[in-house]
Amino acid sequence: MSGEVIAEKQRFASCMEYGINCLSQTTAVAMSWCLLMLAKHPDVQQKVRDEVVSVLGTSEPLTYENLDKLEYCACVVKEALR
């Protein structure tokens, strides 16, 4: 392999690593921000918990079907990200 091909592959690998790193950090920051806002607003936290319990009960797994039913929770996440 020529040095030019290796350099191109290294640049590509670096770009992929950077992109994956950015995506994971963005998700972690978004989750942290949402949890911080819930901690600062216990009344909202309780409403989210109540909705989750009413939709999922105490043992039902989260699925795409019941995820759509968590309307208040979706609003809270969107507001935290706004």
CB atoms within 10 A of CB 10: 10
H-state helical runs in 1-40: 3-40
**Helix 42-56 and helix 3-40: axis angle, to 10°?**
100
Average pLDDT over residues 8-27: 69
pTM more than 0.85: no
The whole-number pLDDT of residue 71 equals: 92
Residue 41 zone, left/alpha/beta (φ > 0; ψ -120 to 50; rest): beta
The candidate with the shortest Cα–Cα distance to 45, out of 21, 14, 53, is 53
Encoded amino acid at 79, one letter: E
Residue 3 pLDDT grade (very low, low, confident, very high; cuts 50, 70, 90): low
